[in-house]
Amino acid sequence: MTPKCCFLGFLIGVLLPGVVETQPAHESLKPQRVHFQSQNFHNILHWQPGRACPGNSSIYFVQYKTYGQRQWKDKEDCWGIQEFFCDLTNETSDIWEPYYGRVRTTLAGVHSGWTMTQRFFPWWETKIDPPFMNITQVNGSLLVNLHAPNLPYRDQKRKNVSMEYYGLVYRVFVINNSLEKEQKVYEGAHRVVEIEALTPHTGYCIVAEMYQPTLDRRSQRSQERCVESP
Protein backbone atom coordinates (compact mmCIF):
# COMPACT_ATOMS: atom_id res chain seq x y z
CA MET A 1 0.00 0.00 0.00
CA THR A 2 1.39 3.43 -0.97
CA PRO A 3 1.76 6.18 1.67
CA LYS A 4 -1.35 7.89 0.31
CA CYS A 5 -3.31 4.66 0.55
CA CYS A 6 -2.00 4.15 4.08
CA PHE A 7 -3.23 7.61 4.99
CA LEU A 8 -6.57 6.90 3.38
CA GLY A 9 -6.84 3.58 5.15
CA PHE A 10 -6.13 5.30 8.46
CA LEU A 11 -8.73 7.98 7.67
CA ILE A 12 -11.38 5.41 6.73
CA GLY A 13 -10.58 3.37 9.82
CA VAL A 14 -11.13 6.39 12.05
CA LEU A 15 -14.34 7.48 10.38
CA LEU A 16 -15.84 4.07 9.65
CA PRO A 17 -14.35 1.34 11.81
CA GLY A 18 -14.55 -2.06 10.16
CA VAL A 19 -14.67 -0.79 6.58
CA VAL A 20 -10.95 -1.36 5.92
CA GLU A 21 -11.17 -4.95 7.00
CA THR A 22 -14.13 -5.76 4.80
CA GLN A 23 -13.33 -4.04 1.48
CA PRO A 24 -10.45 -2.24 -0.29
CA ALA A 25 -10.16 1.52 0.10
CA HIS A 26 -11.09 2.27 -3.52
CA GLU A 27 -14.29 0.25 -3.12
CA SER A 28 -15.26 2.22 -0.02
CA LEU A 29 -14.83 5.42 -2.03
CA LYS A 30 -17.17 4.46 -4.88
CA PRO A 31 -20.19 6.79 -5.22
CA GLN A 32 -23.49 5.24 -4.20
CA ARG A 33 -26.99 5.29 -5.70
CA VAL A 34 -25.96 6.80 -9.03
CA HIS A 35 -29.16 7.46 -10.97
CA PHE A 36 -30.96 9.86 -13.30
CA GLN A 37 -33.84 12.07 -12.25
CA SER A 38 -35.82 13.54 -15.14
CA GLN A 39 -38.49 16.23 -15.06
CA ASN A 40 -39.92 17.47 -18.37
CA PHE A 41 -36.79 16.02 -20.05
CA HIS A 42 -34.42 17.96 -17.80
CA ASN A 43 -32.12 15.00 -17.10
CA ILE A 44 -29.97 15.32 -13.98
CA LEU A 45 -27.53 12.67 -12.76
CA HIS A 46 -27.51 12.26 -8.96
CA TRP A 47 -25.37 10.27 -6.55
CA GLN A 48 -24.39 9.94 -2.91
CA PRO A 49 -20.88 9.81 -1.45
CA GLY A 50 -19.14 6.51 -0.89
CA ARG A 51 -18.95 5.01 2.58
CA ALA A 52 -15.44 6.39 3.10
CA CYS A 53 -16.02 9.95 1.84
CA PRO A 54 -16.33 12.41 4.74
CA GLY A 55 -18.22 15.64 4.07
CA ASN A 56 -17.25 17.53 0.92
CA SER A 57 -13.61 16.50 0.86
CA SER A 58 -14.04 14.30 -2.23
CA ILE A 59 -14.18 15.42 -5.83
CA TYR A 60 -16.21 13.68 -8.52
CA PHE A 61 -15.83 12.94 -12.21
CA VAL A 62 -18.75 12.22 -14.56
CA GLN A 63 -18.91 10.39 -17.87
CA TYR A 64 -21.82 9.41 -20.12
CA LYS A 65 -22.55 7.45 -23.28
CA THR A 66 -25.40 6.33 -25.49
CA TYR A 67 -26.40 2.69 -25.25
CA GLY A 68 -24.38 0.68 -27.76
CA GLN A 69 -21.35 3.00 -27.76
CA ARG A 70 -18.08 1.62 -26.45
CA GLN A 71 -16.39 4.93 -25.66
CA TRP A 72 -17.36 6.95 -22.62
CA LYS A 73 -17.34 10.76 -22.91
CA ASP A 74 -16.18 13.14 -20.20
CA LYS A 75 -18.66 15.75 -19.00
CA GLU A 76 -16.32 18.75 -18.80
CA ASP A 77 -18.58 20.84 -16.55
CA CYS A 78 -18.70 17.94 -14.07
CA TRP A 79 -15.04 16.97 -14.09
CA GLY A 80 -13.55 17.48 -10.64
CA ILE A 81 -16.63 18.84 -8.84
CA GLN A 82 -17.79 18.59 -5.23
CA GLU A 83 -21.53 18.60 -5.92
CA PHE A 84 -23.58 15.41 -5.85
CA PHE A 85 -25.35 16.05 -9.16
CA CYS A 86 -24.60 16.81 -12.80
CA ASP A 87 -26.89 18.22 -15.50
CA LEU A 88 -26.73 15.92 -18.54
CA THR A 89 -29.78 17.37 -20.33
CA ASN A 90 -27.87 18.44 -23.43
CA GLU A 91 -25.99 15.15 -23.59
CA THR A 92 -29.22 13.13 -23.45
CA SER A 93 -31.36 15.29 -25.73
CA ASP A 94 -32.46 12.49 -28.07
CA ILE A 95 -35.29 11.35 -25.83
CA TRP A 96 -35.84 8.08 -27.69
CA GLU A 97 -32.26 6.92 -27.12
CA PRO A 98 -31.17 5.03 -23.97
CA TYR A 99 -28.15 6.34 -22.06
CA TYR A 100 -25.78 5.51 -19.24
CA GLY A 101 -23.96 7.77 -16.79
CA ARG A 102 -21.20 6.93 -14.38
CA VAL A 103 -19.31 8.63 -11.56
CA ARG A 104 -16.02 8.12 -9.77
CA THR A 105 -14.41 10.00 -6.90
CA THR A 106 -10.96 10.92 -5.65
CA LEU A 107 -9.93 11.35 -2.02
CA ALA A 108 -6.39 11.93 -0.77
CA GLY A 109 -5.04 11.02 -4.19
CA VAL A 110 -6.81 7.65 -4.35
CA HIS A 111 -9.32 7.05 -7.15
CA SER A 112 -12.43 4.95 -6.73
CA GLY A 113 -13.83 2.69 -9.38
CA TRP A 114 -16.72 3.86 -11.52
CA THR A 115 -20.34 3.47 -10.41
CA MET A 116 -22.73 3.26 -13.37
CA THR A 117 -26.44 3.97 -13.66
CA GLN A 118 -28.97 1.54 -14.96
CA ARG A 119 -30.03 2.15 -18.54
CA PHE A 120 -31.85 5.49 -18.73
CA PHE A 121 -34.55 6.06 -21.34
CA PRO A 122 -35.78 9.72 -21.18
CA TRP A 123 -39.03 9.14 -23.07
CA TRP A 124 -40.17 6.45 -20.65
CA GLU A 125 -38.75 7.81 -17.42
CA THR A 126 -39.26 11.57 -17.42
CA LYS A 127 -41.96 12.93 -15.12
CA ILE A 128 -44.36 15.40 -16.69
CA ASP A 129 -45.55 18.46 -14.80
CA PRO A 130 -49.23 19.42 -15.00
CA PRO A 131 -50.23 22.26 -17.34
CA PHE A 132 -50.46 25.85 -16.18
CA MET A 133 -54.05 26.99 -16.00
CA ASN A 134 -55.87 30.33 -15.92
CA ILE A 135 -59.65 30.69 -15.61
CA THR A 136 -61.88 33.63 -16.53
CA GLN A 137 -65.69 34.02 -16.46
CA VAL A 138 -67.34 35.21 -19.67
CA ASN A 139 -71.13 35.48 -20.11
CA GLY A 140 -71.94 32.68 -17.70
CA SER A 141 -69.25 30.33 -19.06
CA LEU A 142 -65.75 29.56 -17.92
CA LEU A 143 -62.78 30.00 -20.23
CA VAL A 144 -59.88 27.77 -19.24
CA ASN A 145 -56.53 28.86 -20.70
CA LEU A 146 -53.94 26.08 -20.68
CA HIS A 147 -50.20 26.13 -21.18
CA ALA A 148 -47.98 23.04 -21.26
CA PRO A 149 -44.60 22.94 -19.51
CA ASN A 150 -41.66 23.97 -21.66
CA LEU A 151 -38.98 21.56 -22.76
CA PRO A 152 -35.31 22.40 -22.15
CA TYR A 153 -34.83 22.95 -25.89
CA ARG A 154 -35.38 25.81 -28.33
CA ASP A 155 -36.49 25.73 -31.95
CA GLN A 156 -34.65 27.27 -34.89
CA LYS A 157 -36.10 30.67 -33.97
CA ARG A 158 -34.71 30.30 -30.44
CA LYS A 159 -38.19 30.00 -28.96
CA ASN A 160 -39.06 27.62 -26.15
CA VAL A 161 -40.46 24.26 -27.27
CA SER A 162 -43.67 23.17 -25.54
CA MET A 163 -44.35 19.69 -24.21
CA GLU A 164 -47.17 19.59 -26.80
CA TYR A 165 -44.47 18.92 -29.39
CA TYR A 166 -44.42 15.27 -28.30
CA GLY A 167 -48.11 14.63 -28.85
CA LEU A 168 -49.32 15.32 -25.33
CA VAL A 169 -52.89 16.58 -25.02
CA TYR A 170 -54.84 18.36 -22.34
CA ARG A 171 -57.49 16.85 -20.12
CA VAL A 172 -59.82 19.17 -18.20
CA PHE A 173 -62.09 18.07 -15.36
CA VAL A 174 -64.89 19.98 -13.63
CA ILE A 175 -66.00 19.28 -10.07
CA ASN A 176 -69.48 20.44 -9.09
CA ASN A 177 -69.05 21.18 -5.39
CA SER A 178 -72.73 20.96 -4.53
CA LEU A 179 -73.03 17.49 -6.07
CA GLU A 180 -69.48 16.40 -5.23
CA LYS A 181 -69.30 15.06 -8.76
CA GLU A 182 -66.37 15.17 -11.18
CA GLN A 183 -66.75 15.19 -14.95
CA LYS A 184 -64.17 15.21 -17.75
CA VAL A 185 -65.23 18.01 -20.06
CA TYR A 186 -62.37 18.10 -22.54
CA GLU A 187 -59.51 16.09 -24.03
CA GLY A 188 -57.52 17.49 -26.93
CA ALA A 189 -54.85 19.90 -28.13
CA HIS A 190 -56.71 23.22 -27.86
CA ARG A 191 -55.25 25.63 -25.33
CA VAL A 192 -58.52 27.43 -24.64
CA VAL A 193 -61.48 25.39 -23.40
CA GLU A 194 -64.95 26.85 -22.84
CA ILE A 195 -67.12 25.25 -20.18
CA GLU A 196 -70.80 26.06 -20.66
CA ALA A 197 -74.19 25.11 -19.16
CA LEU A 198 -73.18 25.92 -15.61
CA THR A 199 -75.76 25.98 -12.83
CA PRO A 200 -76.11 29.56 -11.52
CA HIS A 201 -74.68 30.43 -8.10
CA THR A 202 -72.85 27.12 -7.86
CA GLY A 203 -69.25 26.47 -6.91
CA TYR A 204 -67.03 24.69 -9.42
CA CYS A 205 -63.44 23.55 -9.24
CA ILE A 206 -61.33 22.94 -12.33
CA VAL A 207 -58.29 20.65 -12.61
CA ALA A 208 -56.19 19.73 -15.63
CA GLU A 209 -53.50 17.25 -16.62
CA MET A 210 -51.30 16.36 -19.59
CA TYR A 211 -51.93 13.01 -21.27
CA GLN A 212 -49.99 10.94 -23.83
CA PRO A 213 -52.51 8.67 -25.63
CA THR A 214 -49.97 6.32 -27.24
CA LEU A 215 -48.38 5.39 -23.93
CA ASP A 216 -51.53 5.86 -21.82
CA ARG A 217 -49.41 8.05 -19.58
CA ARG A 218 -50.36 11.17 -17.67
CA SER A 219 -48.89 13.95 -15.63
CA GLN A 220 -49.85 14.84 -12.11
CA ARG A 221 -52.95 16.96 -11.86
CA SER A 222 -52.80 20.70 -11.48
CA GLN A 223 -54.00 22.32 -8.29
CA GLU A 224 -57.73 22.93 -8.20
CA ARG A 225 -58.92 26.37 -9.26
CA CYS A 226 -62.33 27.12 -7.80
CA VAL A 227 -64.91 29.72 -8.85
CA GLU A 228 -68.62 30.40 -8.33
CA SER A 229 -70.86 30.73 -11.36
CA PRO A 230 -72.85 34.00 -11.62
* Residue 86: partners with Cβ closer than 8 Å, 6 or more residues away: 44, 45, 60, 62, 75, 77, 78, 101, 103
- Select 26-124's CATH number: 2.60.40.10, 3.40.50.1100, 3.40.50.880, 3.40.50.620: 2.60.40.10
User: By three-state DSSP, how is residue 77 classified?
Assistant: strand
Alpha-helix residue ranges (DSSP H) falling in 30-125: 122-125
Mean pLDDT in order along the chain per 10 residues (230 residues)? 40 44 66 96 94 75 96 97 96 94 91 95 93 91 93 78 86 90 93 91 93 87 90
- CATH 2.60.40.10 positions along the chain are 26-124, 132-229
- Give the C-alpha distances (Å, rounded to integers) separating 164 from 21, 52, 146, 191, 212: 55, 46, 11, 10, 10
Question: What letter represents residue 111's amino acid?
Answer: H
Q: Which CATH class is domain 132-229?
A: mainly beta
**Tally of CA atoms within 13 A in the half-sphere of 68 that contains its CB:** 2
**pLDDT tens digits, one per residue of 140-165:** 899 999 999 988 887 777 777 888 88
- Residue by residue, DSSP assigns 14-26 as HHSTTHHHHS-HH
pLDDT at residue 222, rounded to an integer: 95
pTM across the whole model: 0.79
